[in-house]
Each structure stands twice: as structure tokens, then as C-alpha cells.
Amino acid sequence: MEGTVEDDIERNYASTVVILSAAGVTRGYDGLRDRAAKMQRELPNCTFHYGTRLVEGEMAFLEWTAEADGARVRDGADSYLIRDGRIVAQTIHYTVEPTS
């Protein structure tokens, strides 16, 4: 929620992270950067709103919505596998809807 993509990557993710989404499998820091850039293109000037936040052991789940210039997301959902304080695996789901 604060800082830059690079700060988030350095602070929270393992260098070997695996990301699963409808777009396919992405790996490592370069994969995270690619996913973040894609989301920034799809949701320019975005504001996120976080709903359900659950943590159980090594697993976490987050539901979210977003409002952006010309687009929104109403069904955002991420899950995380966390080991030794770093995210080692993540799933991402969201649908971008155009707004007028």
C-alpha cells in the first residue's frame, strides 16, 4: 500500500516466487515487475480497496476492488504462500471492466 513496486518486491517476495494467474505462470522478480507493469497499464491511477484479509499459518487470502481512470475491478482476489517471511507463491485473479 506504500512505497514503490521495487520496495514491495524487496521487502516481501522471495527471489524464486511463482505467480499463477489466468495470464499464465510468472516467475521471479522480473515476472513480478512484468505483472505490476501490466496492472498499471490496465488500471492507470488506480485506488485499491481491500476487503477480506485472512491468514492461516503459511497461507493468506486477500479480496480487493479497484477504481482507475476508465476502468474498475470488482472481483480481485489474491492468495499467498509465505515462508520465512517472504511470499514464495501467489495467485492473482481480477477482471478489468471499462467505465465511462
* Residue 15's CATH number: 3.10.450.50
Structural domain boundaries, residue 76: 5-98
Query: What pLDDT is stored for residue 72 in this prediction?
Result: 98
- The answer to whether 73 touches 96, Cβ cutoff 8 Å, is yes
- The pLDDT tens digits for 5-39 are 899 999 999 999 999 999 999 999 999 999 999 99
Q: Say if CB 62 and CB 82 are below 8 A apart.
A: no
Residue 2 pLDDT more than 80? no
Mean pLDDT of the 80-96 span: 98
Nine-digit cell at 25? 505462470
Whole-number percent of the chain with pLDDT over 90: 93
> pLDDT: is 26 or 3 the higher one?
26
Number of domains making up the chain? 1
Higher pLDDT, 4 or 37: 37
The grid cell for 58 is 503459511
